[in-house]
Amino acid sequence: MSGKARICVGISGWRYKGWRGTFYPERLAQRRELEFAAHRFDSIELNGSFYSLQRPQNFKQWHDETPDDFVFAVKGSRFITHMLKLRNVETPLANFFAQGVLRLGKKLGPILWQFPPQFACEPEKLEAFFDLLPRTQKEAASLARQHDQRLNGRSWFDVEKDWPIRHAVEIRHGSCECPEFISLLRKNRIALVVADTVEWPLLMDVTADFVYCRLHGSEQLYTSGYESEAIETWARRVMTWSRGQEVTDGKRANPRPARKRSKRDVFVYFDNDAKVRAPFDAESLRRRITELISI
């Protein structure tokens, strides 16, 4: 989309059985689903990396099947966030970046670190984790070279250009709804995910030079859709963020405003896939943002 800041609207994942014959044409080969979706959206969240390590050839294939200006958000490993709970993660983090993520090149967008519902705010542990996170692709390649034997023969870190790497965190525990947590994110230039859900905190604090939204369904988790009034609300929020401003119609954990900027990139992903709403809601939001930009 055009505009002073980059605005990406997309979906969380792309391979869902219920989408065949609804969003995807019935006779479309499954191997062409990413190609189809990538010509309708600016960006997609890669979910497979959350569940297990992928292979370099997978990332190359995803890179090659998408337009030049396409962006992937990549979900961080649940082994790091849910199982190890951010403790002793140096090698797992190296494995994560060695698996082929860097083959996406300039199409590598934000890395999403989703914390489990039981993960309470522990500033020292968070600070230690944030210190490990690479901020450029060459930093990530250097870290990736420290992978363990499981990645022998199936790693990739041949970076040609030092593209920046952004990070975002999604919270699911009420203890993170505090000024200290927001200040910690701002200090480390990490975005707080604006997560629209009935079960977890929905905060509008801006903490980085970009904003990351995940729309899970505001009435019923993963299933409820977004009608025209909700689409209008989110479209106007996106426009506000893209102009470097902060929205005033939501809860914030820290009363202090974010650092002033002339613009911010915004990434929005619909994760309400259970009733086949995500791709259609994403298309609706994308259309409305385009209309607002042209006004």
Report how far residue 292's alpha carbon sits from residue 295's, in angstroms, rounded to the nearest whole number.
5
78 assigned to some structural domain: yes
pLDDT beyond 80 at 59:
yes
Would you place residue 224 in the very low, low, confident or very high pLDDT band (cuts 50, 70, 90)?
low
In the chain, the amino acid numbered 276 is: V
Per-residue pLDDT, 2: 47
- Domain extent at residue 268: 7-294
Q: What is the pTM of this model?
A: 0.94
DSSP 243: T
- What are the tokens at 281? 């809601």
What's the pLDDT score for residue 216? 84
pLDDT of residue 3: 53
Per-residue pLDDT at 57 exceeds 50: yes
Confidence of residue 199 (pLDDT cuts 50, 70, 90): confident
Number of domains in the chain: 1
Is it the case that residue 274 has pLDDT exceeding 70?
no
Position 286 in a domain? yes
Helix (H) or strand (E) holding 286: helix 278-294
Asked, for residue 2, whether it belongs to a domain, the answer is no
The rounded mean pLDDT for the chain is 93
Whether residue 81 is contained in a domain is answered as: yes
- Inside any domain, residue 176: yes
pLDDT tens-digit readout, 9-53: 999 999 998 899 999 999 999 999 999 999 999 999 999 999 999
* Alpha carbon separation from 110 to 67, 72, 99, 183, 249 (Å, rounded): 18, 8, 16, 20, 25
Give the residue with greater pLDDT, 156 vs 295. Answer: 156
Beta pairing partners, 192: 169
Tell me which DSSP letter residue 292 carries. H
Q: Using CA atoms, how far apart are residues 91 and 57, in angstroms rounded to an integer? A: 22
Q: What is the mean pLDDT of residues 190-207?
A: 91
**Is 1 part of any domain?**
no
- Residue 79, domain CATH: 3.20.20.410
Instruction: Choose the weakest-confidence range: 111-125, 158-172, 222-236.
Output: 222-236
Q: Is the pLDDT of residue 85 over 50?
A: yes
Band (pLDDT 50/70/90 cuts) for residue 167 is very high
Residue 189 lies in a domain: yes
Q: Is the residue at 256 inside a domain?
A: yes
